Amino acid sequence: MLIRKPTDIPSSEITSETIYLQRRKFMGQSAAIIAAAGFGLPAPIVKAGLQEDDDVTPEQIVTQYNNFYEFGTGKSDPFENAGALTTDPWTVSVSGEAKKTGDFAFEDIIKGLTPQERIYRFRCVEAWSMVVPWMGIPLKQVLEQFEPTGDAKYVVFKTLYRPEEMVGQRSFFSSIDWPYLEGLRMDEAYHPLSIMAVGLYGKELPNQNGAPWRLMVPWKYGFKSIKSVVSIHFSRRQPVNTWQALASHEYGFYANVNPAVDHPRWSQASERRLPSSIFDPNRRPTLPFNGYAEEVADLYRGMDLRKFY
């Protein structure tokens, strides 16, 4: 495993001194937010999968360039339209193969769980990428409190459906059958790298990035990391996720980053790391499992990763 004890990780290995100093400022600003949410103080940085040239992507890009079709299909639409989203109060419905089910207040679910800063590589299926400092809670800690039974083979998540606040959900031209749905095998969900992100850059998670919490699974394409989660369902059967339902020949259930398996309309062998420009495209080879192969490859031992894409 490449996850090291936080005390073993000097800041110089992660990013520049300027960004490190900014982080200290961010953490100070966010202490009140974190304490109010019932987290207690955040844990130190946890690093995994980063390469020597993996600089943290500027905050402005991460918060203003992303896909969140509930607010529109343009990359800037979430930033421009997500301000209308109401995240307090926030209720999460838990159902399926678990001993504790029902409707739970978000603050009750996360109470007592300490977020960790996880600096992860992020790879979009559209072949662009970022390096993002998330504040997140290990997904296993979130799920275990509901006591899933042995019949729970998969966990299924749904995004909020609220068209009066999410302009993309009321678009006449949308082909998505809302609400957005994603899922993981239980062993994937319990892997130490899987988190529920509650913040960015030491701050509370912005609406456009999936407030109040979103899934983050760094070895998979970004569309797996579902945003603004309001439902957790423990299932015996593998679900059909939203993009698989729309175009199963293009988007599979697993969506593991794989440079050897191209999208039908573009190559996945390389990616455009943001920031980039016409004069500096900042392209680089894509790594298997987005650079996390050493940690997660054993989850798929014996599987045909071209068939189970």
Write down all domains in the chain, each with its CATH number in brackets: 18-300 (3.90.420.10)
Rg (CA), the chain: 18
pLDDT of residue 249: 94
State residue 40's pLDDT score.
54
- Residue numbers of the chain with a pLDDT score lower than 70: 1-44
Is there a contact between 133 and 48 (Cβ–Cβ < 8 Å)?
no
Q: Which two tokens stand for residue 272?
A: 């455009």
For strands 128-138 and 270-273, give the pairing: parallel
- pTM for the model: 0.88
pLDDT value of residue 115: 96
Identity of the residue numbered 69: Y
Residues sharing a CB contact under 8 Å with residue 276, sequence separation 6 or more, in sequence order: 128, 282, 283
What DSSP string runs through 3-69? ---GGG--GGGTS-HHHHHHHHHHHHHHHHHHHHTT--SPEEEEE-S--TT-PPPPHHHHHHS---G
Residue type, 217: V
Specify the pLDDT at position 39: 55
Per-residue tokens: 226: 């579902």
pLDDT (tens digit per residue) in 7-59: 343 333 344 434 434 444 444 444 444 444 555 555 668 888 899 999 999 99
